Amino acid sequence: MESQNLILTTERLILRPWMESDAEECFRYAKDPRVGPVAGWPVHTDVDHTRQVIRNILMVPETYAIVPKETGLPVGSISLHFHSDLATADDEAELGYWLGVPCWGRGIMPEAARELIRHAFEDLKLTRLWCGYYDGNVRSRRVQEKLGFRYQWTTENVPVPQMGETRRGHVNLLTREEWMAMQSSGKNDVHPPLSVRKACEADFERIMAIYRYAQEYMIRNGNPTQWGHFYPTGDLIREDIQLGRCLVICGKTEIHGVFALFEGAEPTYEYIEDGHWLNDEPYVTIHRIAGDGQVHGLLKCAVDYCRGLSGNIRIDTHADNKTMQHLIEQNGFIRCGIIYVEDGSPRFAYQRIMS
């Protein structure tokens, strides 16, 4: 087994070696107390501290910066550790990772880990990958479960040297045979079949994480005013859930999208300029649709669901939301004119009539 850093890629990510010039971006995330301490390392105090960590800890073989293609900037780290407390044989390694808080809930870590696991078993010819987490690190446990790791044991009073304490640690294992079986069965598919169901209160945090991702995406892509950082509010989403109009789009293991479905006349659609609606028949309206950026086909899935209620569907979007305009038109909607939402700002209005 020969270990050397390559550049690995996925649909959304580049995994590349760390560089000292990454210090400022790395510090942005490593200074957050929600990131390091739960994984067993202290909050970074300044950029120089981060630069030293990059130089002495991260710039080693098989340790990669996680870089979204859309930004080109590192948001986390993932690595294979050899000859660790868990991985004692030459054909084993221990998987380690961390991710900046703004990227939580977007499926980034499972996507990065799947590629590094592939690299470990296919390129490096390893036979076993170990992975552990400290008691209470629910996010890390969920990532390992999604990746197919199996529980092995729990150890009390595990030393955590960088934090000067002991903790309860849990250990999981993934073998090459288990990984190969998952590939052949499709259980590790990053684009699972999608389904729609009504949201419940337990979905609230995941839903808000998806909306935060959508807000940031729109701001980065020339649409800073449609939602900004504050729409939709948590109170509005809770109201949607309570009224049964909030729906979530689910893959095999997690929620990837959300939208609000309104049945009956939409008051802001009564007046339309620069065009007209295709008909005056009863319709349903899709509002506030958003995704986590992990899978494709969310709007199509929402439209297919609506079809069971009405073949007459309306939707609107902001003039600066070029991505949404493309998706709406790609899904067979006709642009009918301009409507005005409650705050008086204009929106492009679309309708689709389905048999």
- 8-185: what fold? Aminopeptidase (3.40.630)
**What is the Cα–Cα distance from 147 to 139, expressed in whole angstroms?**
13
In contact, 174 and 147? CB cutoff 8 Å: yes
List the one residue out of 316, 328, 138, 137 whose CA is nearest residue 226. 316
* 195-353 classified as CATH 3.40.630.30: yes
Give residue 281's pLDDT.
94
pLDDT by 10s per residue, the chain, length 355: 444 457 999 989 999 999 999 999 999 999 999 999 999 999 999 999 999 999 999 999 999 999 999 899 999 999 999 999 999 999 999 999 999 999 998 889 999 999 999 999 999 999 999 999 999 898 899 899 989 999 898 999 999 999 999 999 999 999 999 999 888 766 555 455 789 999 999 999 999 999 999 999 999 889 999 999 999 999 999 999 999 999 999 987 789 999 999 999 999 999 999 999 999 999 999 999 999 887 888 999 999 999 888 889 999 999 999 989 999 998 999 999 999 999 999 999 999 998 6
Is the pTM higher than 0.85? Answer: no
Could you give the residue range(s) of every CATH 3.40.630.30 domain in the chain? 8-185, 195-353
* Amino acid occupying residue 319: A
List the one residue out of 309, 301, 259 whose CA is nearest residue 284. 309
**What is the Cα–Cα distance from 149 to 322, expressed in whole angstroms?**
40
**What is the Cα–Cα distance from 60 to 17, expressed in whole angstroms?**
8
302 three-state secondary structure: helix
79 three-state secondary structure: strand
